[in-house]
Structure 1
Amino acid sequence: MTLRRVTKIKRVLECVSNSSKYITRSSSAWTQDKIIKTPYNNIEIPNATLYDYVWQNLEKWPEKTMSVCSETGRGYTYEQAFNLSNAFAANLRLKLKIRDGDTVAVMLPNVPDFPLVAMGILGAGGVISTVNPIYTAHEVHRQLLLSAAKVVITMPETMGVVKEALKIAKLDIPIIVIKTNGDPTPEGALCFNELSEDTHVDKSCLKDVRRTPKDISFMPYSSGTTGMPKGVELSHRNLIANFEQMNDINIKNHSDTTATHQDAVMAVLPFFHIYGASAIMFHKMSVGAKIVTMAKFHPEKYLEALKKFKIDVLYVAPPMLLLMGAHPAGTSETYQYLKSVINGAAPLADSDMRRFLNKVKQEFDFRQAYGLTETSPLVLMPPVGVNNLSTVGYPVSNTEAKVVDENLNNLGPNETGELLVRGPQVMIGYRENPTANSEVFTEDRWFRTGDLVFADDQGQITITDRLKELIKVKGFQVPPAELEAVLRDHPAVIDAAVIGVPHPTKGEAPKAFVVLKSGQKAEANEIKEFVKEKVAPFKKIDEIVFVNSIPKSAAGKILRKDLKAQYS
């Protein structure tokens, strides 16, 4: 497969250019039925796979940098990425026997090779399932089993965790590692670099790939509104629809790539998360931007990279923006190239936004957007030039929203209730989990977000709180049920409940309530260490309170609201 294939790719795309007209609607987006319609242009969704969509304009920018490491400068042009990922795709099919619909687990930090890995999996007809690289073997083994992964791709330094996870899961599947230096390939692993740089591989096998827009392309794991992590099945069409929605001229925050201009986008938000994978990696590849990767967040190096690489498009979560507003190295000179900053993952307080904005001397686009793993992720975004920083705007193109009470009755303007959304970017469903699907989808396929909002007279939406019980630590989801299950594994614990409590730097932190077995004794620190060994660092429990019993409903459901009211 060569660069010439791109011209063939373009022919299968039914692309419709965006309208050049901005929204002029000044009236309300509300309907008589109390549904909020989008004020943005309708889009037509290209009839293509994600693989074809990302590469469709490759011939316009083959020599432009696609991805580059912020620390080492190691990276790839778009043409290099295309050729290497296709060689990798061919070897996935020939040497590892990956077939259409097979899941490949990707457990990587943000390295320049991540997009090549992702596109190689898609090119081979596989499904990408991302795993947090700081997960423990206990966490990894569960996701490998749930996703039915056929191959795992990781780094040499995390191969030990993967091996242990496979042992726990009693699986024997290949491990591929990415080498970023000259060290030998670890024993028992295949080398990504060798598979992707194989110039003799027969790429004609890729002609056998048969994937449609309705097929699953990406399966990250999310806890939904509550409970244990579930595989979120996102189709090629789901993601492409969301990218076309992002391209609408009314909300678009990137500039077109030309012979003389290329946006530089900072990729510190993790690619294993939907926000980083969708908005930063896949979408920005499709528009030819330069993706500057950072494998691990270091405040000083991050701020230095913003200036060094002249970052003009930036996606942040609240902890990052708090740091940018408070760090002494964050000056107007550091932020001089910024032209667009989008906050997501969790809402920001007005005072926190102002602290950052006061450091940036030039005019630039700053907005808050809203989305979820289950919605690819974007569902709400204000138009360019919005002067209300607290709002997350309107439903994006081809999307509608409504606010409902606890009985799912529609509410009107300025009434607070749960946000429900419907649009082409909403997931197919949770993998093999009809119970969870029935909880989040209404009979007419409205998706229940679990977030409390209100919408003003014009239909602009503001997030007020979370109805769901997920704990958000630095923007990451921490499901209480997962920590409760780990706590109950402790030999001295008979019951447990976990809630999220406010934290000055994390946003929220897990707080546990523990009931000990009769006659048993245990120290809080001992139990915290027990949990710490089994979960990723951001999930560790900050505080433990010993109680005689856990408040529960008649159906046996933990009443976390009662715990919050009594102890927080």
Structure 2
Amino acid sequence: MVFHSEYEDVPVLDQPIHEAVLGRAAEYGDAPALIDAVDGTTVSYRQLDFFHRSVAAGLAAAGVRKGDVVALHSPNSIAYPAVFHGACRAGATVTTVHPLATPEEFATQIRDCAARWIITVSRLLDVARRAAELVGGIEEIFVCDRAEGHRSVLDLSGARPGDSSESRDRAPGTTVPIDPAEDIAVLPYSSGTTGAPKGVMLTHRSVSTNLVQLHPFARMGPGERILAVLPFFHIYGLTALLNAPLRYGATVVVLPRFELGQFLAAIEEHRINGLYVAPPIVLALAKHPSVARYDLSSLEYIVSAAAPLDAGLAAACSARLGLPPVRQAYGMTELSPGTHVVPLDAENPPPGTVGKLFPGTEMRILSLEEPGEGPGAGPARDLGVDEEGEVAIRGPQVMKGYLGRPEATAEMIDQDGWVHTGDIGRVDEDGWLFIVDRVKELIKYKGYQVAPAELEALLLTHPAVADAAVIGVYDEDGNEVPKAFAVRQAGARLTEEELMAYVAERVAPYKKIRRTEFIGAVPRATSGKILRRELRERERRNSGRETGGRRA
């Protein structure tokens, strides 16, 4: 059966993302749009509108043309929204880059998407320069702040966040025709259900419409204060902490990274109403002793997404802070990203649910049984209420596809437009979705995607490793972490610590191997495919003992 949203359909929003988000900025006027939680700098909606238009004009004057890919490589800052939307207004596609990416990882991404321009910050310049050298063909590297030898977007635009005089001037005009249904606004990188990261083509229409779909569930508007601590480069942060609040007139208080004391102080000082976080932050709020030293009474709700949240942990967090139950949301990068959320006004939602369908979104639960082979084989069978199967989604928020990978796109999106998420779920009689497991191999470490295949390829470059496999296992705090099962070359004396260090030197910190176990052979099918299910079963059998691999 096909499950439909109980909420009234919303119209597809055929607007460029910069218009969808900042089209009402003049109406919000001098209300604060952004506040830097570190130094207190405030940007009004009028200033933000001026600044993003000025950035667009400056980038266009520098040579950025419609269809160019601009790599935005920066931690959260009050400049990020203006740079992102300025690049979009100039007609560019923005590929967002993890600020902790190594030069090699950065180079792989910009090579894959043929980026011609990089916008970074001074402290990340060495990484950006090295990535540009590895790839070649980069027209220019700009910075959001100041750095000798590089032009700043501040200079390009003639505006600076926080300069009140600029809000009274008329920003330069830049008009680039945008086809919202076809033109790519943002190109985040995702591993999908498995494999190496791929560019996810999200059109202006898909990301703009997802903001409209989210609105019935969100409490965002003038007077609301949202704390942006999750990274803007991630589609969850970009949507829930940047685009949605700014579309509806809320104030976004920006933190460059998560540091517990600074995070708690920002809630207290800026009287934050709502938090959109990932499970590790829920854990800290539930258990860390520092929480008791801060006044968090302004908080009204918490929403957690990006990774599974244990129902007991959610309850402990809510009880400690005296809040309604922590809400969960569900989606994936390929879905712009949202499809489900627990409404803030829901009374006593069932523990563990990830929510109800967004408006205009359809869902199927598909049998996990193999559909068979040969001309007579049919598609996977549809399941009903309280039956467990793979979650499939269809709606206007579905990605256009993976950049340059039609085969991978076809594996993810079937001919009828259904996205096969790789997550195993069930729907109860009231329409609540529960994610109970997953088919896909992707590891979610603190909300970040880690592809086992990428780490396995790196492990095999070590001369002492004959074979390797990686799965996700859970640590003492309930975080999923990458664990390597490695086979030594005959006669090799490689230790677990040495192997983990080898990987750590070559990947961003969130991708590090955190547990290692040497085994005699990696279980494989006759086709050569790694049988990760057997490794997970092995891990479950051994989970009651302390041995079974070195921990990082």
TM-score by length of 1: 0.88
With over 3 angstroms needed to count, the CA separation of the structure-2 counterparts of 1:426 and 1:386, relative to structure 1, is: farther
Residue 391 of structure 2 aligns to a residue whose secondary structure is: strand
User: 1:477 corresponds to which residue?
Assistant: 449
Question: Counterpart in 2 of 1:495?
Answer: 467
Q: Which runs of 5+ in 1 are unaligned?
A: 1-33
C-alpha spacing 1:173/1:505, structure 2 compared with 1 (3 Å): farther
**Counterpart pick for 1:393 among 341, 349, 355:** 355
Q: Which residue of 2 aligns with 1:129?
A: 95
User: Could you tell me how far apart the structure 1 residues matched to 2:181 and 2:403 are?
Assistant: 18
Q: Does 1:215 align with 2:177?
A: no
Alignment equivalent of 1:174, drawn from 123, 134, 140: 140
Match of 1:185 in 2: 147
- Deviation string, structure 1 residues 278-304 (Cα, Å, up to 9, x no partner): 111011111111111111211011011
The equivalent of 1:559 in structure 2 is 531
Q: Deviations over 1:508-544 (max 9, x none)?
A: 1111112233444322222211111111111111122
Hey, what does 2:2 align to over in structure 1? 35
1:549 shift after superposition: 2.2
Distance in 2, matches of 1:78 and 1:365, equals: 32
Deviation digits for residues 110-163 of structure 1 (CA, Å, limit 9, x no counterpart) = 111110111111110111110100111111110011121111111111110111
Partner of 1:49: 16
Residue 107 (structure 1) shift = 0.9
What is aligned with 1:21?
none
Output the CA distance in 1 between the equivalents of 2:176 and 2:518.
59
1:244 aligns with 2:212: yes
Given residue 270 of structure 1, which amino acid in structure 2 is its aligned partner? Answer: P
Of residues 300-309 and 46-55 in structure 1, the stretch that sits farther from structure 2 once superposed is 46-55
Q: Distance in 2 between matches of 1:230 and 1:247?
A: 29
Q: What amino acid is the match of 1:424?
A: P
Q: How many Å separate the matches in 2 of 1:344 and 1:478? A: 16
Counterpart of 1:428? Answer: 400
Ranges of 4+ aligned residues in structure 1 off by more than 6 Å: 199-202
Q: Which residue of 1 aligns with 2:367?
A: 405
Say yes or no: does 1:468 pair with 2:440.
yes
Is 1:203 the counterpart of 2:163? The answer is no
Alpha-carbon shift at residue 459 of structure 1 (Å)? 2.4
Look up the equivalent residue of 1:217 and give its one-letter code. A
1:299 maps onto 2:260 in alignment:
yes
C-alpha contact 1:350 1:390 (8 A) present in aligned 2:
yes
Task: Quote the residue 1:253 is aligned against.
Answer: 219
Q: Tell me the SS of whatever aligns to 1:207.
A: coil
Measure the CA separation in 1 of the matches of 2:172 and 2:527.
57
Distance 1:210 1:410 in 2: 38
Q: Deviations 1:389-439 (Å, cap 9, x if unpaired)?
A: 321222110111111112321111111111001010111111111121121
How far 1:366 sits from its partner (Å)? Answer: 3.7
- Separation in 2 of the partners of 1:58 and 1:480? 43
CA distance in 1, matches of 2:297, 2:280: 21
What's the CA shift for 1:201?
11
Amino acid in structure 2 at the alignment position of 1:405:
S
Q: Is the 8 A contact 1:263 1:312 kept in 2?
A: yes
Q: Quick one: structure 1 residues 196 and 527, their matched pair in 2 at CA, closer, same or farther if it must change by over 3 Å?
A: same
Distance in 1 (CA, whole Å) between partners of 2:461 and 2:171 is 50
Structure 1: distance between partners of 2:325 and 2:300: 6
Task: Name which of structure 1's ranges 369-378 and 59-68 shifts more when overlaid on structure 2.
Answer: 59-68
Q: Is the 8 A contact 1:49 1:213 kept in 2?
A: no
How do 1:287-326 and structure 2 match up within 5 A? 287-326=248-287
2:193 is the counterpart of 1:231: no
How many residues get paired?
520
Other-structure match for 1:380: 340
Where do residues 413-424 of structure 1 align in structure 2 (5 Å cutoff)? 413-424=385-396
How high is the TM-score relative to the length of structure 2? Answer: 0.90
The answer to whether 1:328 aligns with 2:328 is no
Contiguous gaps of at least 5 residues in structure 2: 160-165, 372-379, 541-552
Kept in 1, the 8 Å contact 2:318–2:325? The answer is no
Distance across 2 between alignment mates of 1:411 and 1:539:
36
Deviates more, 1:429-438 or 1:266-275: 429-438
1:152 corresponds to which letter in structure 2? Answer: I
SS at match of 1:352: helix
**What is residue 485 of structure 2 aligned with on the other side?**
513
Aligned to 1:149, the other structure's residue is in SS state: coil
User: By how many angstroms is 1:208 displaced?
Assistant: 4.2
Match of 2:26 in 1: 59
Please give the root-mean-square deviation of Cα atoms over the aligned residues, in Å. Answer: 1.9
Provide the C-alpha distance between the structure 2 equivalents of 1:252 and 1:86, rounded to a whole number of angstroms. Answer: 28
Partner of 1:344: 305
2:104 maps to which residue? 138
Partners of 1:399 and 1:289 in 2: CA distance: 26
Cα separation, 2, equivalents of 1:219 and 1:73? 31
- CA 1:349–1:365: 2 relative to 1, 3 Å: closer
Q: Structure 1 residues 385 and 117 mapped into 2: Cα distance closer, same or farther (>3 Å)?
A: same
CA contact (8 A) 1:155 1:178 kept: yes
Tell me, in whole angstroms, the C-alpha distance in 2 between the residues paired with 1:77 and 1:413: 48
Q: Matched residues in 1 for 2:327 and 2:518: separation?
A: 43
Partner of residue 7, structure 1: none
Name the counterpart of 2:330. Answer: 370
The amino acid of 1:240's aligned partner reads S
**Paired letter, 1:74:** T
How many angstroms does 1:344 deviate by?
A: 0.8
Comparing 419-428 with 460-469, which one deviates more in the overlay? Answer: 460-469
Distance 1:559 1:91, change over 3 A: same
Alignment correspondent of 1:82? 49
Structure 1 position 506, deviation (Å): 6.1
Equivalents in 2 of 1:365, 1:69: separation in Å?
29
1:263 is aligned to 2:224: yes
Find the residue that maps to 1:358 and give its secondary structure. Answer: helix
CA–CA separation in structure 1 for the residues paired with 2:12 and 2:177: 22
* Counterpart position of 1:16: none
User: How many Å apart are 1:475 and its aligned residue?
Assistant: 1.4
What's the CA shift string for 1:163-203, capped at 9, x where partnerless? 11122223443111122xxxx5233x221221122689993
